[in-house]
Amino acid sequence: MSYHKPVLLSESVDSLEIRCDGVYVDMTYGGGGHSREILNRLGSKGRLIAFDQDLDSQSNIIEDERLIFFRQNNIYLMQTLDFLKIKKVDGILADLGVSSHQLDKKNRGFSFQPGYKLDMRMNQKQNLDAIGVINNYTETELSNLFFLNGDLKNSKKIAKEICIERTNKKITKTNHLNSVLEKFFNHNTRNSFLARVYQSIRIEVNKELEFLKEILTQSKKILSKNGIMSVITYHSAEDRLVKRYFKNGCFDEEPIKDEFGNSLNPFKLKFQFLKPSESELKFNVRSRSAKLRSALKL
């Protein structure tokens, strides 16, 4: 698993309660760690459909006739299942994190470490990248994404500082952006602060929250009765969406109800959430912010 250490591996696959002849979906294939474990629990008649839009993930495809891999965005889930003539699936797993491979490759520009070009595209063929967001978005647009995607309370000041600097010189490298942001952190807060800023930009580049809403909405339509969806989140913005959707059947704070006031939520929570164990944190520090949420389709 040099490409990526699968987070909450046993817990997430356990939560799906794999049926040996079932049909399952891995929405975020990456290094194939979760898919491999699902395949280990499937019988000869089981099937696994996997998605990943990152070209690099294709080098990790497992040779198994039960696996069908699609190198495309997972928002095409329903369209793909229709193509495969599959009406319902028994379980869906989505690990929303950035892979270790993506963080460690300088040309991908996901990390705030020095010497990286600002890119952050999951799909390397799309036009919008981090350079485009940082240098072309308005001050208000930048402020909003820092606040909404990163929970940064001083988002307006951060956006203003970036906009002042980019009038002097285009911001294209991590070193440059980090130097602009130096006034907002000290030695103790540097990494956590930069992680939030870069997370905010990455979410915007890849439209992660919009796509998450889409796959959650589709899950309601294609999960079979008693089918299970499990999602691993890494930050509060995406975790709020998953939590609300599983709890209320929508993205609002209140559940959908019929004319008599009865809840129309199609999901039942399996548990509140799970976090990585102490032993997992020791060998994979990047899993520290992960939360696993799981729900049963009624």
Q: Which long-range contacts (CB under 8 A, 24 or more apart) does 73-77 make?
A: 73/123, 73/211, 74/27, 74/28, 74/211, 74/215, 75/211, 75/214, 75/215, 75/218, 76/51, 77/25, 77/27, 77/51, 77/215, 77/218, 77/219, 77/222
Segment among 27-41, 104-118, 125-139 with least mean pLDDT = 104-118
Q: Note down the domain range covering 242.
A: 9-100+208-297
Segment among 9-18, 54-63, 113-122, 279-288 with least mean pLDDT = 54-63
pLDDT of the residue at 115: 85
Q: What is the CATH number of the domain that holds 15?
A: 3.40.50.150
Whether residue 165 is found in the same domain as residue 284: no
Where does a domain end: 205, 236, 263? Answer: 205
| 148-152: average pLDDT | 94
Whether residue 190 is found in the same domain as residue 216: no
What global pTM score does this model have?
0.90
Could you give the number of structural domains in the chain?
2
pLDDT at 2 over 60: no
pLDDT at 1 over 50: no
pLDDT of the residue at 100: 63
Residue 109, phi-psi category: left (phi > 0), alpha (psi -120 to 50), beta (remainder): left
pLDDT at 286 over 60: yes
Identity of residue 291 = K
Q: What is the CATH number of the domain that holds 149?
A: 1.10.150.170
Whether residue 281 is found in the same domain as residue 151: no
In-domain check, residue 107: no
pLDDT of the residue at 164: 98
Q: Per-residue pLDDT tens for 160-189?
A: 999 999 999 999 999 999 999 999 999 899
How far apart are the C-alpha atoms of 44 and 190, rounded to whole Å? Answer: 50
Q: Per-residue pLDDT tens for 184-206?
A: 999 899 999 999 999 999 999 99
